[in-house]
Amino acid sequence: MPATPAWPPKSAPRLFVEQMLGEGLQISIEGPQAHYLARVMRVGPGDAVILCDNTTGEWAARVADAGKRDVLLTAETLLRPREAVPDFTLCAALLKKDRFDLVLEKACELGVARIQPVLTRRCVADKLNLERARAILTEAAEQCARTALPELLAPVKLDALLRDWEANRTLFFADENGGGPAASAFAANNGPAALLTGPEGGFDEAERTAIRALPQARPITLGPRILRGETAVIAATALWMGTRGDWTAPA
Amino acid sequence: MPATPAWPPKSAPRLFVEQMLGEGLQISIEGPQAHYLARVMRVGPGDAVILCDNTTGEWAARVADAGKRDVLLTAETLLRPREAVPDFTLCAALLKKDRFDLVLEKACELGVARIQPVLTRRCVADKLNLERARAILTEAAEQCARTALPELLAPVKLDALLRDWEANRTLFFADENGGGPAASAFAANNGPAALLTGPEGGFDEAERTAIRALPQARPITLGPRILRGETAVIAATALWMGTRGDWTAPA
Protein backbone atom coordinates (compact mmCIF):
# COMPACT_ATOMS: atom_id res chain seq x y z
CA MET A 1 0.00 0.00 0.00
CA PRO A 2 1.55 3.34 -1.00
CA ALA A 3 2.10 5.84 1.80
CA THR A 4 -0.45 8.65 1.92
CA PRO A 5 1.25 11.78 0.60
CA ALA A 6 1.70 14.46 3.26
CA TRP A 7 -1.03 17.10 3.24
CA PRO A 8 -0.37 19.92 2.77
CA PRO A 9 2.92 19.16 0.97
CA LYS A 10 6.03 20.90 2.29
CA SER A 11 6.36 22.78 -0.98
CA ALA A 12 2.89 24.40 -0.71
CA PRO A 13 2.99 28.21 -0.98
CA ARG A 14 2.64 30.12 2.31
CA LEU A 15 0.78 33.40 2.57
CA PHE A 16 -0.34 35.82 5.25
CA VAL A 17 -3.87 37.14 4.73
CA GLU A 18 -5.75 40.01 6.37
CA GLN A 19 -8.92 38.04 6.98
CA MET A 20 -9.32 35.94 10.11
CA LEU A 21 -9.32 32.23 9.26
CA GLY A 22 -11.60 29.40 10.42
CA GLU A 23 -12.64 25.92 9.33
CA GLY A 24 -14.59 25.94 6.07
CA LEU A 25 -14.18 29.69 5.53
CA GLN A 26 -13.79 30.90 1.95
CA ILE A 27 -10.95 33.34 1.29
CA SER A 28 -10.61 35.39 -1.87
CA ILE A 29 -7.03 36.41 -2.74
CA GLU A 30 -6.49 39.35 -5.09
CA GLY A 31 -3.71 41.58 -6.40
CA PRO A 32 -0.03 40.60 -6.15
CA GLN A 33 -0.80 37.58 -3.92
CA ALA A 34 -3.21 36.22 -6.55
CA HIS A 35 -0.56 36.79 -9.22
CA TYR A 36 1.98 34.94 -7.05
CA LEU A 37 -0.34 31.96 -6.53
CA ALA A 38 -1.74 31.66 -10.05
CA ARG A 39 1.19 32.80 -12.19
CA VAL A 40 4.35 32.10 -10.19
CA MET A 41 3.33 29.03 -8.18
CA ARG A 42 0.73 27.97 -10.83
CA VAL A 43 -1.78 26.58 -8.35
CA GLY A 44 -5.00 25.06 -9.68
CA PRO A 45 -8.22 23.68 -8.16
CA GLY A 46 -7.52 21.14 -5.41
CA ASP A 47 -3.95 22.36 -4.75
CA ALA A 48 -2.79 23.14 -1.24
CA VAL A 49 -1.91 26.61 0.06
CA ILE A 50 -0.81 27.36 3.63
CA LEU A 51 -2.44 30.46 5.08
CA CYS A 52 -1.67 32.47 8.21
CA ASP A 53 -3.75 35.28 9.65
CA ASN A 54 -1.44 36.45 12.47
CA THR A 55 -4.30 35.77 14.92
CA THR A 56 -5.48 32.17 15.00
CA GLY A 57 -2.40 30.59 13.37
CA GLU A 58 -1.51 28.53 10.33
CA TRP A 59 -4.11 26.74 8.18
CA ALA A 60 -4.11 24.23 5.37
CA ALA A 61 -6.30 25.62 2.61
CA ARG A 62 -7.38 24.23 -0.75
CA VAL A 63 -7.76 26.10 -4.03
CA ALA A 64 -11.43 26.18 -5.10
CA ASP A 65 -10.88 28.32 -8.16
CA ALA A 66 -7.86 30.10 -9.69
CA GLY A 67 -8.84 32.88 -12.07
CA LYS A 68 -6.92 35.64 -13.81
CA ARG A 69 -7.63 38.25 -11.15
CA ASP A 70 -8.35 36.28 -8.02
CA VAL A 71 -7.85 32.92 -6.37
CA LEU A 72 -10.58 31.42 -4.22
CA LEU A 73 -9.50 29.22 -1.31
CA THR A 74 -11.21 27.22 1.40
CA ALA A 75 -9.53 26.97 4.82
CA GLU A 76 -9.65 23.35 5.98
CA THR A 77 -7.51 22.50 9.00
CA LEU A 78 -5.65 24.45 11.66
CA LEU A 79 -2.06 23.18 11.39
CA ARG A 80 -0.53 25.19 14.24
CA PRO A 81 -1.92 27.86 16.54
CA ARG A 82 -0.14 31.22 16.28
CA GLU A 83 3.24 30.73 17.96
CA ALA A 84 4.43 32.57 21.04
CA VAL A 85 7.66 34.33 20.13
CA PRO A 86 10.15 35.29 22.88
CA ASP A 87 9.53 38.69 24.48
CA PHE A 88 12.41 40.49 22.77
CA THR A 89 12.14 44.01 21.36
CA LEU A 90 14.68 45.20 18.82
CA CYS A 91 15.37 48.93 19.17
CA ALA A 92 17.56 49.50 16.13
CA ALA A 93 18.75 52.90 14.96
CA LEU A 94 17.69 53.47 11.37
CA LEU A 95 20.37 52.54 8.85
CA LYS A 96 20.68 53.17 5.13
CA LYS A 97 17.87 51.47 3.22
CA ASP A 98 19.49 48.24 2.04
CA ARG A 99 21.16 47.65 5.42
CA PHE A 100 17.92 48.27 7.31
CA ASP A 101 16.03 45.97 4.93
CA LEU A 102 18.50 43.28 5.98
CA VAL A 103 17.85 44.08 9.66
CA LEU A 104 14.10 43.65 9.13
CA GLU A 105 14.45 40.35 7.26
CA LYS A 106 16.92 38.84 9.72
CA ALA A 107 15.10 40.09 12.84
CA CYS A 108 11.97 38.31 11.61
CA GLU A 109 13.82 35.06 10.84
CA LEU A 110 15.64 35.09 14.18
CA GLY A 111 12.40 35.43 16.14
CA VAL A 112 12.12 39.07 17.31
CA ALA A 113 8.67 39.91 18.73
CA ARG A 114 8.70 43.61 17.89
CA ILE A 115 10.85 46.18 16.14
CA GLN A 116 11.14 49.76 17.33
CA PRO A 117 13.18 51.84 14.86
CA VAL A 118 15.12 54.58 16.66
CA LEU A 119 16.28 58.01 15.45
CA THR A 120 19.63 59.19 16.81
CA ARG A 121 21.82 62.23 16.12
CA ARG A 122 24.13 60.45 13.72
CA CYS A 123 21.41 58.61 11.79
CA VAL A 124 21.95 59.10 8.06
CA ALA A 125 18.48 57.76 7.33
CA ASP A 126 15.60 59.59 9.01
CA LYS A 127 12.52 58.04 7.39
CA LEU A 128 11.11 54.56 7.14
CA ASN A 129 8.37 53.53 4.74
CA LEU A 130 6.31 51.47 7.18
CA GLU A 131 4.19 49.80 4.52
CA ARG A 132 7.28 48.66 2.61
CA ALA A 133 8.95 47.54 5.86
CA ARG A 134 5.87 45.50 6.81
CA ALA A 135 5.93 43.83 3.39
CA ILE A 136 9.57 42.80 4.00
CA LEU A 137 8.64 41.39 7.41
CA THR A 138 5.64 39.50 6.01
CA GLU A 139 7.71 37.97 3.21
CA ALA A 140 10.39 36.92 5.69
CA ALA A 141 7.74 35.38 7.95
CA GLU A 142 6.29 33.42 5.01
CA GLN A 143 9.80 32.25 4.09
CA CYS A 144 10.83 31.13 7.59
CA ALA A 145 7.43 29.64 8.50
CA ARG A 146 6.69 32.04 11.35
CA THR A 147 3.02 32.13 12.27
CA ALA A 148 3.32 35.41 14.21
CA LEU A 149 4.32 38.59 12.39
CA PRO A 150 6.78 40.83 14.21
CA GLU A 151 5.12 44.04 15.37
CA LEU A 152 6.63 47.08 13.66
CA LEU A 153 6.38 50.44 15.43
CA ALA A 154 6.85 53.90 13.95
CA PRO A 155 10.36 55.38 14.46
CA VAL A 156 10.90 57.32 17.71
CA LYS A 157 13.68 59.62 18.82
CA LEU A 158 16.14 58.16 21.29
CA ASP A 159 15.21 60.55 24.11
CA ALA A 160 11.52 59.61 23.82
CA LEU A 161 12.43 55.93 23.81
CA LEU A 162 14.41 56.32 27.04
CA ARG A 163 11.83 58.58 28.70
CA ASP A 164 9.01 56.07 28.21
CA TRP A 165 11.03 52.94 28.94
CA GLU A 166 9.08 50.03 30.57
CA ALA A 167 10.04 49.50 34.20
CA ASN A 168 10.65 45.76 33.97
CA ARG A 169 12.34 45.46 30.54
CA THR A 170 16.13 45.11 30.43
CA LEU A 171 17.75 47.20 27.69
CA PHE A 172 20.92 45.58 26.36
CA PHE A 173 22.93 48.42 24.89
CA ALA A 174 25.46 47.48 22.20
CA ASP A 175 28.05 50.08 23.19
CA GLU A 176 31.03 50.24 20.84
CA ASN A 177 33.03 51.84 23.66
CA GLY A 178 32.71 48.67 25.67
CA GLY A 179 30.61 46.87 28.21
CA GLY A 180 30.22 43.44 29.73
CA PRO A 181 30.45 40.35 27.52
CA ALA A 182 27.03 39.99 25.88
CA ALA A 183 26.50 36.33 26.80
CA SER A 184 27.15 36.98 30.51
CA ALA A 185 24.84 40.00 30.52
CA PHE A 186 22.10 37.95 28.85
CA ALA A 187 22.57 35.12 31.36
CA ALA A 188 22.30 37.51 34.32
CA ASN A 189 19.03 39.19 33.29
CA ASN A 190 15.75 37.32 33.15
CA GLY A 191 12.45 38.53 31.81
CA PRO A 192 11.41 40.93 29.06
CA ALA A 193 14.42 42.05 27.03
CA ALA A 194 15.35 44.61 24.40
CA LEU A 195 18.42 45.37 22.34
CA LEU A 196 19.54 48.89 21.42
CA THR A 197 21.94 49.31 18.51
CA GLY A 198 23.38 52.45 16.94
CA PRO A 199 23.57 53.95 13.44
CA GLU A 200 26.53 53.79 11.01
CA GLY A 201 28.53 56.40 12.96
CA GLY A 202 27.59 55.10 16.43
CA PHE A 203 25.98 56.98 19.30
CA ASP A 204 27.49 60.31 20.36
CA GLU A 205 28.83 60.90 23.86
CA ALA A 206 25.68 62.61 25.19
CA GLU A 207 23.53 59.78 23.88
CA ARG A 208 25.79 57.15 25.44
CA THR A 209 25.58 58.94 28.79
CA ALA A 210 21.79 59.17 28.58
CA ILE A 211 21.44 55.48 27.73
CA ARG A 212 23.79 54.40 30.53
CA ALA A 213 21.80 56.52 32.99
CA LEU A 214 18.71 54.35 32.40
CA PRO A 215 18.49 51.91 35.36
CA GLN A 216 17.36 49.10 33.03
CA ALA A 217 20.35 49.56 30.67
CA ARG A 218 23.10 46.93 30.46
CA PRO A 219 26.03 47.95 28.21
CA ILE A 220 27.33 44.94 26.31
CA THR A 221 30.29 44.23 24.07
CA LEU A 222 30.18 42.10 20.94
CA GLY A 223 33.87 41.30 20.74
CA PRO A 224 37.05 43.11 19.74
CA ARG A 225 36.11 43.91 16.13
CA ILE A 226 34.04 46.90 15.02
CA LEU A 227 30.73 45.53 13.77
CA ARG A 228 28.65 47.32 11.18
CA GLY A 229 25.24 48.46 12.40
CA GLU A 230 23.30 45.60 10.85
CA THR A 231 25.91 43.03 11.92
CA ALA A 232 25.59 44.12 15.55
CA VAL A 233 21.80 43.71 15.35
CA ILE A 234 21.94 40.23 13.83
CA ALA A 235 24.81 38.98 16.02
CA ALA A 236 23.38 40.18 19.34
CA THR A 237 19.88 38.97 18.47
CA ALA A 238 21.19 35.51 17.51
CA LEU A 239 23.21 35.34 20.72
CA TRP A 240 20.17 36.28 22.83
CA MET A 241 17.86 33.84 21.00
CA GLY A 242 20.44 31.07 21.34
CA THR A 243 20.99 31.58 25.06
CA ARG A 244 17.71 33.09 26.39
CA GLY A 245 15.19 32.76 23.57
CA ASP A 246 13.49 29.78 22.00
CA TRP A 247 16.55 28.06 20.50
CA THR A 248 17.34 26.30 23.75
CA ALA A 249 14.87 23.43 23.38
CA PRO A 250 15.99 20.34 21.44
CA ALA A 251 14.30 20.06 18.04
CA MET B 1 47.85 73.45 27.35
CA PRO B 2 45.82 71.84 24.55
CA ALA B 3 45.67 68.05 24.54
CA THR B 4 47.95 66.38 21.99
CA PRO B 5 45.72 65.12 19.19
CA ALA B 6 45.61 61.31 18.95
CA TRP B 7 48.01 59.89 16.39
CA PRO B 8 47.01 58.30 14.13
CA PRO B 9 43.49 59.82 14.24
CA LYS B 10 40.60 57.36 14.44
CA SER B 11 39.42 58.55 11.02
CA ALA B 12 42.69 57.62 9.27
CA PRO B 13 42.18 55.31 6.27
CA ARG B 14 43.00 51.63 6.85
CA LEU B 15 44.59 49.46 4.17
CA PHE B 16 45.98 45.97 3.83
CA VAL B 17 49.19 45.85 1.76
CA GLU B 18 51.07 42.91 0.24
CA GLN B 19 54.49 44.08 1.42
CA MET B 20 55.76 43.15 4.89
CA LEU B 21 55.93 46.24 7.10
CA GLY B 22 58.69 47.47 9.42
CA GLU B 23 59.78 50.66 11.15
CA GLY B 24 60.97 53.27 8.65
CA LEU B 25 60.09 51.16 5.60
CA GLN B 26 58.82 52.99 2.54
CA ILE B 27 55.68 51.61 0.91
CA SER B 28 54.49 52.57 -2.54
CA ILE B 29 50.74 52.22 -3.10
CA GLU B 30 49.42 51.99 -6.66
CA GLY B 31 46.24 51.21 -8.55
CA PRO B 32 42.80 51.30 -6.87
CA GLN B 33 44.31 51.69 -3.38
CA ALA B 34 46.23 54.81 -4.54
CA HIS B 35 43.02 56.15 -6.08
CA TYR B 36 41.19 55.50 -2.80
CA LEU B 37 43.85 57.30 -0.73
CA ALA B 38 44.48 60.27 -3.03
CA ARG B 39 41.07 60.83 -4.61
CA VAL B 40 38.49 59.47 -2.17
CA MET B 41 40.23 60.10 1.18
CA ARG B 42 42.28 63.04 -0.24
CA VAL B 43 45.38 62.36 1.82
CA GLY B 44 48.36 64.67 1.44
CA PRO B 45 51.95 64.73 2.74
CA GLY B 46 52.09 64.32 6.54
CA ASP B 47 48.67 62.65 6.78
CA ALA B 48 48.22 59.40 8.66
CA VAL B 49 47.31 56.07 7.09
CA ILE B 50 46.93 52.80 9.01
CA LEU B 51 48.54 49.84 7.26
CA CYS B 52 48.23 46.09 7.90
CA ASP B 53 50.29 43.36 6.26
CA ASN B 54 48.51 40.28 7.66
CA THR B 55 51.91 39.17 9.09
CA THR B 56 53.42 41.62 11.58
CA GLY B 57 50.25 43.56 12.39
CA GLU B 58 48.92 47.10 12.24
CA TRP B 59 51.16 50.14 11.65
CA ALA B 60 50.80 53.89 11.74
CA ALA B 61 52.21 55.25 8.49
CA ARG B 62 52.66 58.77 7.17
CA VAL B 63 52.16 60.02 3.65
CA ALA B 64 55.48 61.14 2.12
CA ASP B 65 54.10 61.95 -1.29
CA ALA B 66 50.66 61.64 -2.93
CA GLY B 67 50.86 61.68 -6.73
CA LYS B 68 48.32 60.98 -9.47
CA ARG B 69 49.35 57.34 -9.91
CA ASP B 70 50.91 56.37 -6.60
CA VAL B 71 51.08 57.29 -2.95
CA LEU B 72 54.34 56.96 -1.06
CA LEU B 73 54.12 56.12 2.65
CA THR B 74 56.57 55.58 5.49
CA ALA B 75 55.70 53.02 8.18
CA GLU B 76 56.39 54.57 11.59
CA THR B 77 55.05 52.65 14.58
CA LEU B 78 53.62 49.19 15.20
CA LEU B 79 50.21 49.89 16.76
CA ARG B 80 49.14 46.27 17.37
CA PRO B 81 50.71 42.93 16.54
CA ARG B 82 48.61 40.73 14.24
CA GLU B 83 45.74 39.46 16.37
CA ALA B 84 45.04 35.83 17.20
CA VAL B 85 41.53 35.02 16.02
CA PRO B 86 39.59 32.10 17.55
CA ASP B 87 40.22 28.73 15.89
CA PHE B 88 36.89 28.52 14.08
CA THR B 89 36.50 27.29 10.50
CA LEU B 90 33.37 28.14 8.57
CA CYS B 91 32.40 25.37 6.14
CA ALA B 92 29.57 27.04 4.27
CA ALA B 93 27.83 25.56 1.25
CA LEU B 94 28.04 27.97 -1.68
CA LEU B 95 24.98 30.20 -1.99
CA LYS B 96 23.81 32.53 -4.74
CA LYS B 97 26.30 35.34 -5.27
CA ASP B 98 24.81 38.19 -3.25
CA ARG B 99 23.96 35.92 -0.32
CA PHE B 100 27.46 34.39 -0.28
CA ASP B 101 29.01 37.88 -0.48
CA LEU B 102 27.10 38.63 2.72
CA VAL B 103 28.43 35.42 4.30
CA LEU B 104 32.00 36.47 3.49
CA GLU B 105 31.59 40.01 4.84
CA LYS B 106 29.87 38.92 8.06
CA ALA B 107 32.19 35.95 8.72
CA CYS B 108 35.12 38.34 8.59
CA GLU B 109 33.48 40.86 10.92
CA LEU B 110 32.43 38.19 13.40
CA GLY B 111 35.99 36.80 13.68
CA VAL B 112 36.14 33.57 11.65
CA ALA B 113 39.72 32.29 11.16
CA ARG B 114 39.16 30.48 7.88
CA ILE B 115 36.43 29.89 5.33
CA GLN B 116 36.03 26.61 3.47
CA PRO B 117 33.32 26.88 0.78
CA VAL B 118 31.56 23.55 0.29
CA LEU B 119 29.84 22.08 -2.77
CA THR B 120 26.77 19.94 -2.08
CA ARG B 121 24.19 18.24 -4.31
CA ARG B 122 21.60 20.99 -4.00
CA CYS B 123 24.02 23.92 -4.43
CA VAL B 124 22.64 26.31 -7.03
CA ALA B 125 26.01 28.08 -7.25
CA ASP B 126 28.98 25.90 -8.17
CA LYS B 127 31.78 28.43 -8.69
CA LEU B 128 33.45 31.05 -6.54
CA ASN B 129 35.69 33.80 -7.87
CA LEU B 130 38.40 33.55 -5.22
CA GLU B 131 40.07 36.84 -6.12
CA ARG B 132 36.78 38.71 -5.82
CA ALA B 133 35.94 36.86 -2.58
CA ARG B 134 39.35 37.80 -1.11
CA ALA B 135 38.71 41.44 -2.01
CA ILE B 136 35.40 41.31 -0.08
CA LEU B 137 37.17 39.79 2.94
CA THR B 138 39.97 42.37 2.82
CA GLU B 139 37.52 45.26 2.63
CA ALA B 140 35.53 43.83 5.55
CA ALA B 141 38.75 43.43 7.57
CA GLU B 142 39.72 47.07 6.87
CA GLN B 143 36.23 48.17 7.91
CA CYS B 144 36.07 46.18 11.17
CA ALA B 145 39.73 46.83 12.14
CA ARG B 146 40.80 43.19 11.98
CA THR B 147 44.57 42.82 11.70
CA ALA B 148 44.39 39.18 10.55
CA LEU B 149 42.71 38.35 7.25
CA PRO B 150 40.48 35.26 7.23
CA GLU B 151 42.04 32.45 5.22
CA LEU B 152 39.91 31.57 2.19
CA LEU B 153 40.20 28.06 0.74
CA ALA B 154 39.08 26.85 -2.67
CA PRO B 155 35.65 25.13 -2.70
CA VAL B 156 35.62 21.38 -1.99
CA LYS B 157 32.93 18.76 -2.41
CA LEU B 158 31.21 17.61 0.76
CA ASP B 159 32.49 14.03 0.55
CA ALA B 160 36.11 15.22 0.29
CA LEU B 161 35.57 17.58 3.23
CA LEU B 162 34.29 14.73 5.41
CA ARG B 163 36.96 12.23 4.21
CA ASP B 164 39.83 14.55 5.17
CA TRP B 165 38.33 15.86 8.41
CA GLU B 166 40.85 16.76 11.17
CA ALA B 167 40.76 14.29 14.06
CA ASN B 168 40.46 16.89 16.83
CA ARG B 169 38.11 19.47 15.26
CA THR B 170 34.44 19.41 16.26
CA LEU B 171 32.08 19.91 13.33
CA PHE B 172 28.87 21.66 14.37
CA PHE B 173 26.33 20.69 11.75
CA ALA B 174 23.38 23.07 11.29
CA ASP B 175 20.84 20.38 10.54
CA GLU B 176 17.41 21.72 9.57
CA ASN B 177 15.92 18.37 10.59
CA GLY B 178 16.95 18.98 14.18
CA GLY B 179 19.75 18.49 16.64
CA GLY B 180 20.79 19.65 20.08
CA PRO B 181 20.37 23.31 21.04
CA ALA B 182 23.39 25.10 19.54
CA ALA B 183 24.45 26.89 22.74
CA SER B 184 24.55 23.62 24.74
CA ALA B 185 26.52 21.85 22.00
CA PHE B 186 29.02 24.72 21.89
CA ALA B 187 29.38 24.66 25.67
CA ALA B 188 30.04 20.90 25.71
CA ASN B 189 32.83 20.90 23.10
CA ASN B 190 36.18 22.56 23.71
CA GLY B 191 38.98 23.09 21.26
CA PRO B 192 39.15 23.65 17.49
CA ALA B 193 35.69 24.13 16.03
CA ALA B 194 33.97 24.31 12.68
CA LEU B 195 30.46 25.03 11.46
CA LEU B 196 28.84 23.30 8.49
CA THR B 197 25.84 24.98 6.86
CA GLY B 198 23.81 23.94 3.81
CA PRO B 199 22.71 25.53 0.54
CA GLU B 200 19.34 27.16 -0.26
CA GLY B 201 17.57 23.79 -0.53
CA GLY B 202 19.33 22.15 2.43
CA PHE B 203 21.34 18.92 2.49
CA ASP B 204 19.76 15.80 1.00
CA GLU B 205 19.15 12.64 3.05
CA ALA B 206 22.34 10.85 1.95
CA GLU B 207 24.42 13.91 2.79
CA ARG B 208 22.80 14.24 6.21
CA THR B 209 23.55 10.58 6.93
CA ALA B 210 27.18 10.96 5.83
CA ILE B 211 27.70 14.06 7.97
CA ARG B 212 26.12 12.45 11.03
CA ALA B 213 28.39 9.42 10.58
CA LEU B 214 31.47 11.58 11.17
CA PRO B 215 32.55 11.01 14.81
CA GLN B 216 33.41 14.72 15.19
CA ALA B 217 29.97 15.87 13.99
CA ARG B 218 27.51 17.49 16.41
CA PRO B 219 24.08 18.21 14.87
CA ILE B 220 22.69 21.49 16.20
CA THR B 221 19.42 23.34 15.94
CA LEU B 222 19.04 27.10 15.52
CA GLY B 223 15.51 27.41 16.80
CA PRO B 224 12.03 26.66 15.50
CA ARG B 225 12.08 28.92 12.44
CA ILE B 226 13.55 27.96 9.05
CA LEU B 227 16.64 30.13 8.59
CA ARG B 228 17.94 31.10 5.17
CA GLY B 229 21.40 29.76 4.36
CA GLU B 230 23.25 33.01 5.09
CA THR B 231 21.19 33.64 8.23
CA ALA B 232 22.16 30.23 9.64
CA VAL B 233 25.85 31.02 9.01
CA ILE B 234 25.72 34.42 10.67
CA ALA B 235 23.53 33.34 13.60
CA ALA B 236 25.51 30.21 14.50
CA THR B 237 28.84 32.00 14.11
CA ALA B 238 27.70 34.86 16.35
CA LEU B 239 26.44 32.39 18.94
CA TRP B 240 29.76 30.49 18.93
CA MET B 241 31.84 33.68 19.10
CA GLY B 242 29.69 35.01 21.93
CA THR B 243 29.90 31.84 24.02
CA ARG B 244 33.22 30.17 23.04
CA GLY B 245 35.13 32.75 20.95
CA ASP B 246 36.73 36.07 21.84
CA TRP B 247 33.60 37.99 22.81
CA THR B 248 33.71 36.67 26.35
CA ALA B 249 36.30 39.09 27.74
CA PRO B 250 35.09 42.45 29.08
CA ALA B 251 36.04 45.35 26.78
What secondary structure, in 3-state letters, does chain B show? Answer: CCCCCCCCCCCCCEEECCCCCCCCCEEEEEHHHHHHHHHHCCCCCCCEEEEECCCCEEEEEEEEEECCCEEEEEEEEEEEECCCCCCEEEEEECCCHHHHHHHHHHHHHHCCCEECCEECCCCCCCCCCHHHHHHHHHHHHHHHCCCCCCEECCCEEHHHHHHCCCCCCEEEEECCCCCEEHHHHHHHCCCCEEEEECCCCCCCHHHHHHHHHCCCEEEEECCCCCCCHHHHHHHHHHHHHHHCCCCCCCC
Test A144 with B236 for CB contact under 8 angstroms.
no
What mean pLDDT comes out for the span A51-75? 95
| Chain B residues whose beta carbon lies within 8 Å of the beta carbon of residue A99 | none
Mean pLDDT, chain B cut into blocks of 10 residues (251 residues total): 73 95 96 93 96 97 93 97 96 97 98 98 94 97 97 98 98 93 95 96 96 98 95 98 89 57
Q: How far apart are the first and last CA of chain B?
A: 30
- Using a pLDDT cut of 90, give the percent of chain A over it: 90
- Domain check: are B32 and B59 in the same one? yes
Which of B109, B222, B250 shows the shortest C-beta gap to A228?
B109
| Number of domains observed in the structure of chain B | 2
| Domain with A102 in it | 88-243
Q: Are residues A166 and A221 in the same domain?
A: yes
Beta carbons of A228 and B143 less than 8 Å apart: yes
CB nearest to B238's CB, from A102, A226, A239: A239
CATH for A70: 2.40.240.20
* Domain end call among B25, B49, B81: B81
Q: How confident is the model at residue A12 (pLDDT cuts 50, 70, 90)?
A: very high
Contact residues, chain A, for B102 at CB < 8 Å: 102
Residue A106 lies in a domain: yes
Q: Do A181 and B247 make contact, defined as CB atoms within 8 angstroms?
A: yes
Query: Do B145 and B107 lie in a common domain?
Result: yes
Residue A70 and residue A105 in one domain? no
| ipTM attached to this prediction | 0.94
Q: Is the model's pLDDT at A2 over the cut of 80?
A: no
